[in-house]
Every structure is written in C-alpha cells, then in structure tokens.
Amino acid sequence: MISNKIQDALNEQINAELWSAYLYLSMGMHFEAEGCKGLANWFKVQFKEEQAHAEIFMNYLNSRGGRVVLKAIDAVETKWDSPLAAFEATLAHEQKVTAMINNLYALAMDEHDYATRGKLDWFVSEQVEEEETARDLVDRLKLIGNDGLALYTLDQELGARTYNVPSPLAGK
C-alpha cells in the first residue's frame, strides 16, 4: 500500500501533468491559427508527451494499490505575443515542474517510500531534457529576432518532430 501523503502528492502531480498537456495544446492551437504549422506540430507532440507523463503516474499509483483522483484542470492562456514568448513561458513552466518533481522526491525520501523515489528517477532526467530543449529554442528565437526567413526555417524543422512513446509506457 501507499501512504495517503504520497497518494495525494501523486494525484497533484497527475493534475499538473494534465495541466501541462492542456497548456501545450493551447499553444499548438494558437500557432495553428497563426499559420505556423511547424510550431503547432511541436506543441501538439508536447501535448501528447505530457499526457503520457500523467499516464505513467496513473499506472504507477494503480500498481501500488492507490486511488487515482482526477481533479479539475485549471484554464490556460490562449494567446502568446510571439514564438519567443511561448517558449519563454514553456521554459518557466518546465522549471516549475522540475521543482515539483524534486519536492515529490524529497517527500518520498521523508516517507521512506523507496519505490516512489525510484519511479521518480526517470522524471528527474526527463526534466533536464525538457528544460534544455526549451532553453535551446528560446536562445535560437532570440538569435532569429525579426528574421522571417529564419523563423520559417525553424518552423519547418519543428514540423518534423514526431511523438515517441516514453520508455516507461512502452508496451503498456
């Protein structure tokens, strides 16, 4: 069995991952409307990844005999001033998620819940990647500035991103 404290914290994390999914879907829809199909694709892939993160936590909580409780998902913004603004918001959000994962890790240690602590290792590494990717795109968009052709080229590149099932979900 899993402690109530850890179960509540995991349910909070599931809600946060679903909120992340909702945020990136909103960004995808924004860029779709703006005619930036590559950016839209990138955020729609990100939306799927965040749903997968929630699913990994849900599978885990179920595997420990816990109870998944799906809460209301708060509204998200619907418009961003520029691609740079969207990726700056993405980086800031991922930094918050990293802090949440770290808090969860600390809680699992406090509670002597080593199974949960172990499960979080994958997420610790995943957050390093999430932040690195967002930071890289922020840097590139700063370099691009108002260069329309460079933005078009980046949009083409981001249009090639495809969704890969995260390893903890492979075969599930």
What part of residues 8-27 is at the interface with Mg ion (CB under 5 A)?
Answer: 17
Q: Which is nearer to Mg ion, 50 or 113 (CB)?
A: 50
By CB atoms closer than 10 A (0-12, 13-18, 19+), residue 108 is: buried
Q: Which is nearer to Mg ion, 52 or 154 (CB)?
A: 52
What part of residues 40-79 is at the interface with Mg ion (CB under 5 A)?
Answer: 50, 53
Q: Which is nearer to Mg ion, 17 or 55 (CB)?
A: 17
- Supply 108's token pair: 């699992």
Minimum distance from CB of 111 to Mg ion (Å)? 22
- Supply 131's token pair: 């932040």
CB-based closest residue to Mg ion: 53
- Supply 52's token pair: 């997968």
Enumerate binding residues for Mg ion (CB under 5 A): 17, 50, 53
